[in-house]
Amino acid sequence: MAQEPRVVNGKSGSGSMSRQFAQWVARLRYEDLPPAVVDRAKGLTLHALASALQGFQLPAGQEAIKLVSQEAGEVRGGATVLVSGLQTTKGDAAFANAELILAGGKWDTFRMLTHPGCSIVPAALAAAESTHASGRDFLTGLAAGYEVMERMAGDFIPTIMARGFHAGPVFGIFGAAVAAAKVMRSTEDQVNDAIALCVNMAAGNLESLGLREGPASRNAMLAVALARLGHHGGETALEGRAGLYQAYAGNNEGHLTYSFTGDTRTNLDKVTADLGARWMFLETLYRIYSITGYNLAHVDVTAKLCEEHNIRYEDVDHVEAVVNWLETQYPSPAFPNRREDIGEPDRTSTRYYAAYGVVTRGFPMVPVTSDPPEVLELMKRVTIIPSHQMTLFGPRITIFTKDGRSYTKQATGREFIWDFKEEARRIRGVIPGIPIPAAQFEELITTCEGLKTQSQVTKLVELTLKRS
């Protein structure tokens, strides 16, 4: 039987941020999801599973499986580690699966510096498997988790990074907890408490170069479990005088150190405004290549420009790209570990990816050990120009040819937002680098596409397992 909401400040419910989220999450139904939201949730599920399949082949993925195997071993009634089939606790499965997705590099991206699916999808899968949830329940939980996390993170990402925290796991724990709580049919109070408890466990540091979304997903499962047992959290744990925003952003009044738009002031009321009517979730991009997100467009937009004008490597004199200035000082202008606009380019630089787009008109979907020599030569003739006017992921590319002409293409920043059909087409590029047959991967695509008809989400997990 559902619990009655606790009386807070003399009334049922309250205006606190976590309470508004909890009320919306508890009431959200599959039928409330717009078709575009359902489509994106299905596509991002496929994207995350493809990344886990690729990550299983890599050392970081194997390390995560080895860790949970040694620490917890086989556990009945828990959840499954993707690809390997190891049965372990829900928290350990969420951790390992997050690390597999991270290792595979096929992440999603929200406002450049967070990758929600790396923490949210593993938590939602663990919750769905352990409760035998339907595809509709899973999709609803996923959409709720993404929306809450991205609204919380939105305007604050550059400021959080400038204080030495990594915004991905700091906010990822909240999306993971909300998704798991919704899949498990938690009450409003339980969702509210889980969000508040996550404030105690939210973490992520730029200097450590250590674990990220894996611990966030694991800790989210702990917060949800505690909340379901009746462990209460603070009502104003997010916006309170000593709450999340005060601790991580330096204030709870909306002052920003940096922003993507140049505006250094926001309003906390915006975070929960128009829930269910305006979906920030739809800003989530597909990071189709295993590269830093802001470099995606430098591959595809440059390649498209070459295709449109039949420009070959031999024709190019030099290339210029005007970009959002925050993309030139990763991960933050306060603590840049690379400058894209100065110094010599290397295989991680924006100039390298722009050159790749010219030379090959694309980028490998699976890891490669060597590059075309033309790429390594041309990247020295690419110039990156920072701008405060350019949108995120929206470079303006100009190719100057040896005959004295120039060709320009302006990106929109939305080139990597697409529907499920396009995601299925593009993600098939991982097939040569995954441990399951192409036919099995095709079945995984079909199952993701038809998730709303699945009585249990466990089929998704099963389709990642290596068959004897």
271 and 301 assigned to the same domain: no
% pLDDT > 70, the chain:
96
Percent of the chain beyond pLDDT 90? 91
Q: What is the pLDDT averaged over residues 80-102? A: 96
Question: In the prediction, which pLDDT does 211 show?
Answer: 74
- Interval 323-349 mean pLDDT: 95
Assess whether 50 and 184 both reside in one domain: yes
Q: Are strands 396-401 and 329-330 parallel, antiparallel or unpaired?
A: unpaired
In a domain, 436, yes or no: no
As a whole number, mean pLDDT of residues 157-176 equals 97
Threshold 0.85, pTM exceeds: yes
pLDDT at 11 (0 to 100)? 34
In a domain, 23, yes or no: yes
Report the CATH number that the domain containing residue 32 is assigned in CATH.
1.10.4100.10
Residues 114 and 175 in one domain: yes
97 and 130 in a single domain? The answer is: yes
Structure tokens at 140: 């609803």
Residue 421 has pLDDT above 80, yes or no: yes
Residues 336 and 221 in one domain: no
- Residue range 290-315: mean pLDDT, rounded: 97
Q: Say yes or no to pLDDT of 118 above 80.
A: yes
Give the pLDDT of residue 73: 65
Does the pLDDT of residue 24 top 60, yes or no?
yes
CA atoms of 14 and 256, how far apart (whole Å) = 26
Task: Quote the number of domains for the chain.
Answer: 2
Question: Are residue 152 and residue 298 in the same domain, yes or no?
Answer: no
Examine residue 107 and state whether it is found in any structural domain, yes or no: yes
- Provide the pLDDT for residue 17: 97
Looking at 363, 383, 410, the residue that finishes a domain is 410
- The stretch 105-123 carries a mean pLDDT of 97
If asked whether residues 203 and 330 sit together in one domain, one would say no
Using 50, 70 and 90 to split pLDDT, how confident is the model at 4? very low
Q: What is the CATH number of the domain that holds 329?
A: 3.30.1330.120
Residue 308 in this model has a pLDDT that exceeds 50: yes
Task: Look at residue 290 and tell me whether its pLDDT is greater than 90.
Answer: yes
Asked if the structure places residue 434 within a domain, the reply is no
- The stretch 249-274 carries a mean pLDDT of 95
Residue 216 lies in a domain: yes
pLDDT of 466 = 84
- For 350-373, the pLDDT digits (tens) are 999 999 999 999 999 998 889 999
pLDDT value at 26 more than 80: yes
pLDDT at 446: 98
pLDDT above 90: residue 6: no
Q: Show the domain range for 387.
A: 293-410
- Asked whether the predicted pLDDT for residue 347 surpasses 90, the reply is yes
Distance CA 438, CA 106 (A): 18
192 plus 301 within the same structural domain? no
Mean pLDDT, the chain, as a whole number? 94
pLDDT tops 70 at residue 468: no
Residue 241 lies in a domain: yes
Q: Is the pLDDT of residue 5 over 70?
A: no
CB count in 10 Å sphere of residue 343: 10
Looking at residue 209, what is its pLDDT? 79
Q: Is residue 193 part of a domain?
A: yes
Lowest mean pLDDT among 5-19, 21-35, 449-463: 5-19
Q: What is the mean pLDDT of residues 155-171?
A: 97
Predicted confidence at residue 126, as pLDDT, reads 98
Asked whether residue 111 is assigned to any structural domain, the reply reads yes
Residue 370 and residue 259 share a domain: no
